[in-house]
Amino acid sequence: MRKQTNDKSQVEKYLTQLPTIKDKRSKSGIYHRMEHQLQQKNKSSLWKKKRWIPIVAVLSPIVILFIIVQTVNLQQLDSNSSGEVTSEAYDSGEGIEIEESIDLFESNEIRENLIEDDEVADLREVTDFNYLLMDMTELDTTSIVTIPFVTHQQQTVIPIHILARADEQTITQLLDRLNKDMKFDEYGVNPSPLQGISIPLTNNDTKVNIHLTEDSKSMYTSTNLYLFEQALHYFYQHSNVEYVQIEGNQFVKDQYNHGTLPIRQITNHPVKVYRSGLNSLLVPVLHESFTTINEALEEMKEDEESFHIYHTIPKQATIDTNEISNQHVKIELFTEDITNNQQTVWMIESIIATAALFGYDLVTLDIGIDFVGKYDLTKPIHTKKVLNYIPLANE
């Protein structure tokens, strides 16, 4: 049983128990690398000094030539007897060129070009946003598979969606491809906890058997067991499977009633953003669940830094929700921070995903602006979307 109290002395005790991290490199290896780096730095410094020699050599004649030309020009100007002639020459030459430029700038052709540029810029702004929800209609829904991954910090399970190939029948086959094609570090996740377990990708039964080997010792801590459980809940979320029967590993089997784990419906959770790698991901916060969507939206203003999970709704935003029907919710959200930018795109997407987890099919959003990225907020938005869809190579 975990201790609930973490007073100062307990914290101090844990701190002293933090392990010594070993540097596995050899002493000579470190020395040689450092020696090499030092040589490189010396070379670079020498090069910086030496590179001035050719630069000075090239620039000197140019500067001398420039001085000579300027001197000759000045002499010619001095020898010119009429200042007015010079003035007229300037008026009739460069002046006309300037006027022509103004006319051209005012012409319709240029204006049209400028408008086109603005449209291109707007379009670029829309396409440059990073979207974490994908419309079901854009994907072959029969091939979409939920793959649960664990965060780098081994704290949270995040569902990622990818398209399975026709020849992939088990999760192992699919994960083998993912391990090759997906850059886990970019997303701040580790390989799936279901790695190495033979699980069919499709299953129409209500109960499935999962065989774990006796040497699956990585699950012998409560944290890893918790992550494994969550992974199964996510994996079977959109299937007919209601129970998972654990077989093989007695330790894991003993954690559940006769080795049977009931699949829990993931509902009524707020969705926030996980940020650890270069790319962010949306994550339902499973350790917090609420009765109403309004409570969940309020919670989405809070960070959970120790989990690397962050708010998606500005803290000072006022939120008002109105259930139009059992399937349709209207959310009014006001704050000065909202503009057409990436933060707002992710705010909208996290609200859509949260609405879906509260059972709504449609969400109408009033946030003070009508268009954000690809989202048209003047109409209700369908919540049936794919969370964290990652297109892989050759898709």
Structure token digits, residue 285: 């916060």
What element of type H or E holds 156? Answer: none
Instruction: Report in angstroms how near the CB of residue 108 gets to other proteins at its nearest.
Output: 38
Instruction: Report in angstroms how near the CB of residue 321 gets to other proteins at its nearest.
Output: 21
- The reply on whether position 311 binds other proteins by CB under 8 A is yes
Instruction: Report in angstroms how near the CB of residue 276 gets to other proteins at its nearest.
Output: 4
**Residue 346 contacts residue 132 (beta carbons within 8 Å):** yes
Figure out which of the listed residues 11, 58, 72, 98 binds other proteins, where binding follows CB under 8 A. 11
Figure out which of the listed residues 219, 304, 365, 388 binds other proteins, where binding follows CB under 8 A. 304
Figure out which of the listed residues 79, 306, 318, 394 binds other proteins, where binding follows CB under 8 A. 306
- The reply on whether position 388 binds other proteins by CB under 8 A is no
- The reply on whether position 139 binds other proteins by CB under 8 A is no
Nearest to 207 by CA among 243, 233, 240: 243
Nearest to 272 by CA among 262, 281, 260, 264: 281
Listed in sequence order, the DSSP H helices in the chain are: 8-16, 27-50, 52-79, 83-90, 96-106, 108-128, 171-181, 184-187, 222-235, 250-254, 293-299, 342-357
Figure out which of the listed residues 131, 243, 290, 310 binds other proteins, where binding follows CB under 8 A. 310
Within 199-228, which residues bind other proteins (CB under 8 A)?
221-223, 226
Figure out which of the listed residues 87, 107, 153, 267 binds other proteins, where binding follows CB under 8 A. 153
Rounded CA-CA distance 202/200 in Å is 6
- The reply on whether position 277 binds other proteins by CB under 8 A is yes
Residue 120 pairs in a beta bridge with: none
Contact segment (CB under 8 A) with other proteins among 51-59, 75-83, 240-248, 335-343 equals: 335-343
Q: Enter the DSSP assignment of 364.
A: E
Contact segment (CB under 8 A) with other proteins among 68-76, 88-96, 161-169, 271-279 equals: 271-279
CA atoms within 13 A on the CB side of 46: 6
Within 39-98, which residues bind other proteins (CB under 8 A)?
41
Rounded CA-CA distance 351/353 in Å is 5
Figure out which of the listed residues 196, 248, 314, 380 binds other proteins, where binding follows CB under 8 A. 314
Residue 281's identity, in one-letter code, is L
- The reply on whether position 349 binds other proteins by CB under 8 A is no
**Tokens 């069919």, located at residue:** 200
- The reply on whether position 240 binds other proteins by CB under 8 A is no
Query: What's the distance, CA 10 to chain centroid?
Result: 36
Nearer to other proteins, 289 or 294 (CB): 289
Within 175-204, which residues bind other proteins (CB under 8 A)?
188, 190
SS3 394: coil
Rounded CA-CA distance 236/195 in Å is 15
Instruction: Report in angstroms how near the CB of residue 192 gets to other proteins at its nearest.
Output: 15
- The reply on whether position 237 binds other proteins by CB under 8 A is no
Which residues, other chains included, contact 197 with Cβ-Cβ below 8 Å and sequence gap of 6+?
A: 171, 172, 210, 211, 212
CA atoms within 13 A on the CB side of 299: 23
- Using DSSP bridges, classify how beta strands 207-211 and 243-247 pair: parallel, antiparallel or unpaired: parallel
Query: How many residues at the interface with other proteins, by CB under 8 A?
Result: 64
Binding site for other proteins (CB under 8 A): 2-4, 6-8, 10-12, 14-23, 25, 27, 30-31, 33-35, 37-38, 41, 152-155, 188, 190, 221-223, 226, 229, 273, 275-278, 280, 286-289, 303-308, 310-311, 314-315, 337, 342-343, 346
